[in-house]
Structure 1
Amino acid sequence: MAPAEGLAQIRYARAPELAAALPGAEVLFVWDFFSDALADAWPQADALRWVHVASAGVDTLLFPALRDSDVTVTNSRGVFDEPMAEYVLGLVLCLAKDLHTTARLQQQRRWQHRETERVTGAHVLVVGTGPIGRAIGRRLAAAGLTVSGLGRTARPDDPDLGTVRPQDHLHDALAQADYVVLAAPLTEATRGMIDRAALARMKPTARLINVARGPLVAQDDLVAALRAHQIAGAALDVFADEPLPDSSPLWRLPNVLVSPHMSGDVVGWREELVELFTDNLRRYRQGSPLRNVVDKRLGYVTSAPLEHTRGSR
């Protein structure tokens, strides 16, 4: 946090200490975006004007009192886009080329020849048309996949995602995809969107990739679909409960890749998060519009960002 030292009087607080540290603070940088400490300490937020979170998603932060207040919320949109797109490309290649099985067989010292799949020409549906979804679309298109998108607004010729269908066309879009990549924010409209009915519309050869938020997927329904080979596999970086419990069947399913919420975490990511916050802090001190202002009603930064300066609570 050193770059911000000269811009403000800074207090550091762990979750149990937040209630004592919050009185008088105008700005709060939330590093642990899964913490509910701010909700618990909210009665002590007597001077708060702006909350910045070290993530792109803000679903765990937008408790009702904050959402209904005049406190501005900004996120770390832009830091994770390209790293996550690279990670998704890696997952697609791993699934198509069966690299996870190769690694498992190597550990067993088994020589088992297999055929793998082409990715060129495969159809990927990217659910979510924000910066992360767009970066994923560009990266997969460059690798030869045919890309389409699903978002709030239909568009016939999107530069990054090709044909974008509206959210209520989800089931029709799923039926055409070889890979379904979830990159949407978690909102009331997207929670549980990949459920039994949605999975039933997917091809038996299709794979699901989730790098967004675990609750986008009805996890029990996914496990049932994978066990029944209703879909070919899944690569999951996010889960409803994190860390993923030892008892979860997802650990043991051979057609599943599990990773610990790391798709955007590349060398230097912490420094990039601090740089973004520091730039916004300078803007705040100057009374300039902040970057990445979240529309608290929608739960994400809109494509036409709102311009907020210092406001009253």
Structure 2
Amino acid sequence: MIASEPREAPVLAVLCGESRPPDMRAVESRAVVRYTDAAGLSEALSGADALFVYDFLSTAVPGAWHAADRLRWLHIASAGVDPVLFPGLRESDVVLTNSRGVFDDAIAEYVLGVVLAFAKDFARSHDLQREGRWLHRESERIAGREVLVVGTGPIGRAIARLLRAAGMRVSGAGRRERTGDPDFGVVHESARLTEVLPHADYVVAVAPLTEHTKGMFDARAFAAMKPSARFVNVGRGELVVTSDLVEALTTKTIAGAALDVFDTEPLPAESPLWTLPDVLISPHMSGDFVGWRHTLVEVFTENFRRWRAGEPLRNVVDKTLGYVPSGNQGAG
């Protein structure tokens, strides 16, 4: 079947999970599209010109890479690219693009939501409601509280803008220290993280996963935080040393955590994080708003049009850095 496919149209392999991406008609009219699951990826990659990793949590690409004999472009339907950024891709000439920009505002809303949930003690109110108990308490204000957003890409910036609008005082931590940033004001150097953590009431992790950021939130980082600080992770689970986080929560080194991502997903049933007090858990859904799958396909379709027309692609990832550098997200 593959041998009879017309070569005048590019061949696109699409790695799917349980369902195919929606609204692919515009692409299907201009390419030979091979939909596949992880088991069939090697066959689908043979002779393919491009790969759309719609199942962005899949780890199947490295194992099938040997079959990518004419691949020129790989697009992943997420902002994070760590599932596909392995040595074979790094060392190749294949262009890597991501779906930067789709989830920014939704994740920012999630972060504001959990900040409010902590400050207003919503979880406790819900528990008391179920028990039929009337227990008056006082809640916290969020205005004027200090937030450190670790990761200064577009998601971090959307978080900073929304929290500032709510009256919070926001700074950032990134690769380079600077002042006068339009969203963060001050950006601290991530290498000096433990020096700035003691000032934050909320610490939000949204950094990309790289060799420099993996495990950056460890026992030393948690020990540097205020005992009243809350930790929010909407970046990658591997940014955190989970055992150190559990210890910090158990010993009340920090006051609480809102966690949307984990180093093992789904979170194992035996994980103590499920039952620790003052921990909010969501199943990697902070950016998944109604219609997000259609938006992901729209982003890919526009890049596919550009690719076919020989125009610059949007969201080209620097494979050395592991993310799209500022200013290189593409035109439009």
TM-score higher than 0.5 here? yes
Q: For 2:315 and 2:161, locate their aligned partners in 1 and report how far apart those are by CA, in whole Å.
A: 22
Identify the residue that residue 286 of structure 1 maps to in structure 2. Answer: 309
**Is 1:145 aligned to residue 147 of structure 2?**
no
Identify the residue that residue 49 of structure 2 maps to in structure 1. Answer: 26
How many aligned residue pairs are there? 308
What is the SS of the residue equivalent to 1:11? Answer: strand
Identify the residue that residue 69 of structure 2 maps to in structure 1. Answer: 46
Identify the residue that residue 311 of structure 1 maps to in structure 2. Answer: none
Identify the residue that residue 254 of structure 2 maps to in structure 1. Answer: 231
Identify the residue that residue 197 of structure 1 maps to in structure 2. Answer: 220
Identify the residue that residue 207 of structure 1 maps to in structure 2. Answer: 230
Q: For 2:319 and 2:206, locate their aligned partners in 1 and report how far apart those are by CA, in whole Å.
A: 19
Identify the residue that residue 17 of structure 2 maps to in structure 1. Answer: none
Q: For 1:40 and 1:199, locate their aligned partners in 2 and report how far apart those are by CA, in whole Å.
A: 36
1:187 to 204, 210, 213: 210
Q: For 1:204 and 1:269, locate their aligned partners in 2 and report how far apart those are by CA, in whole Å.
A: 37
Query: Cα offset for 1:61?
Result: 1.1
What is the SS of the residue equivalent to 2:231? Answer: strand
**Is 1:164 aligned to residue 174 of structure 2?**
no
What is the SS of the residue equivalent to 1:91? Answer: helix
Q: Which amino acid aligns with 2:270?
A: S
Cα deviations by residue, 1:73-124 (Å, 9 ceiling, x for unpaired)? 1000000001100111001000111101111221222222211110000000
CA contact 1:22–1:45 (8 Å) conserved in 2:
yes
CA contact 1:7–1:281 (8 Å) conserved in 2:
no
Cα deviations by residue, 1:54-79 (Å, 9 ceiling, x for unpaired)? 10000121111111111011000000
**Is 1:118 aligned to residue 114 of structure 2?**
no
Q: For 2:131 and 2:48, locate their aligned partners in 1 and report how far apart those are by CA, in whole Å.
A: 57
Query: Cα offset for 1:181?
Result: 0.3
Question: 5+ residue gaps in structure 1?
Answer: 308-313
Runs of 4+ in structure 1 deviating by more than 4 angstroms, as ranges, are none
Query: Cα offset for 1:306?
Result: 7.7
Query: Cα offset for 1:199?
Result: 0.5
Q: Which amino acid aligns with 1:49?
A: R
Q: For 1:215 and 1:30, locate their aligned partners in 2 and report how far apart those are by CA, in whole Å.
A: 21
What TM-score, normalized by structure 2, do the two folds share? 0.91
Identify the residue that residue 280 of structure 2 maps to in structure 1. Answer: 257
Q: For 2:294 and 2:288, locate their aligned partners in 1 and report how far apart those are by CA, in whole Å.
A: 11
Q: For 1:33 and 1:196, locate their aligned partners in 2 and report how far apart those are by CA, in whole Å.
A: 30
Q: Which amino acid aligns with 2:169?
A: T
Q: For 2:59 and 2:236, locate their aligned partners in 1 and report how far apart those are by CA, in whole Å.
A: 17
Query: Cα offset for 1:2?
Result: 2.3
1:240 to 257, 263, 269: 263
What is the SS of the residue equivalent to 1:285? Answer: helix
1:55 to 78, 91, 96: 78
Q: Which amino acid aligns with 1:290?
A: L
Q: For 1:51 and 1:224, locate their aligned partners in 2 and report how far apart those are by CA, in whole Å.
A: 40
Q: For 1:185 and 1:88, locate their aligned partners in 2 and report how far apart those are by CA, in whole Å.
A: 17
* Cα root mean square deviation, aligned: 1.2
**Is 1:133 aligned to residue 156 of structure 2?**
yes
Q: Which amino acid aligns with 2:37?
A: R
CA contact 1:124–1:179 (8 Å) conserved in 2:
yes
Identity, in percent, stands at: 61
Q: For 2:214 and 2:59, locate their aligned partners in 1 and report how far apart those are by CA, in whole Å.
A: 19
Q: For 2:249 and 2:34, locate their aligned partners in 1 and report how far apart those are by CA, in whole Å.
A: 48
Deviates more, 1:265-274 or 1:27-36: 27-36
CA contact 1:3–1:275 (8 Å) conserved in 2:
no
Q: For 2:160 and 2:214, locate their aligned partners in 1 and report how far apart those are by CA, in whole Å.
A: 22
**Is 1:303 aligned to residue 303 of structure 2?**
no
Cα deviations by residue, 1:237-281 (Å, 9 ceiling, x for unpaired)? 000000000000000011100000000000110010000000000
What is the SS of the residue equivalent to 2:173? Answer: strand
Query: Cα offset for 1:43?
Result: 0.9
**Is 1:108 aligned to residue 159 of structure 2?**
no
What TM-score, normalized by structure 1, do the two folds share? 0.96
Q: For 1:175 and 1:7, locate their aligned partners in 2 and report how far apart those are by CA, in whole Å.
A: 55
Query: Cα offset for 1:34?
Result: 2.1
Deviates more, 1:279-288 or 1:2-11: 2-11
